[in-house]
Amino acid sequence: MGVLIDTSVLIPVEREGIFWDELLGRGLDLAEDEAVAMSAITASELLHGVHRLKGVAQARAGLFVDTLLEHIPVLPFDTEVARVHAMISAACAAKGAAVGAHDLIIAATAVAHGYDVATRDRKSFARIDDLRIRQW
């Protein structure tokens, strides 16, 4: 088992200047051998934010994201995740539960790998059945 870290956790980490060990100890409640990862869409969201900035802010954010990408494994959107994504998306649509496309991909990645999702966004993720959430 592991924890998939959502963008909603990582952006405040950068803005508040929280260090890696503090991130792991603050709300994630990791077991000693528990894996930490991010989904490919989370990596994309972080990089998108870097490209929207200019000058010193872009350089600082780029360094932060590059450091994260060096230390946190990125789980791909592969065929296994695509199958889980289709199932979750169809289930949400059937019950009229609107969930954003990126959040669906994050949730599918977590479910496919047996991970919890660490997030500040309980509203969207709470609409997804059988997804374990760690509120950060």
The one-character DSSP state at 19 is -
pLDDT digits 0-9 by tens, 62-115: 998 998 899 899 999 999 999 999 999 999 999 999 999 999 999 999 999 999
* Spatial CB neighbours of 128, under 8 Å, sequence gap ≥ 6: 88, 91, 92, 97, 99, 104, 107
pLDDT digits 0-9 by tens, 50-75: 999 999 999 988 998 998 899 899 99
pTM assigned to the model: 0.89
pLDDT digits 0-9 by tens, 12-26: 777 776 665 666 666
Choices 3.30.450.20, 3.40.50.1010, 3.30.70.3270, 2.40.128.90: CATH for 2-135: 3.40.50.1010
For residue 125, give the nearest of 109, 94, 103 by alpha carbon.
Answer: 103
- Give residue limits of the domains in the chain: 2-135
Cβ proximity of 2 and 36 under 8 Å: yes
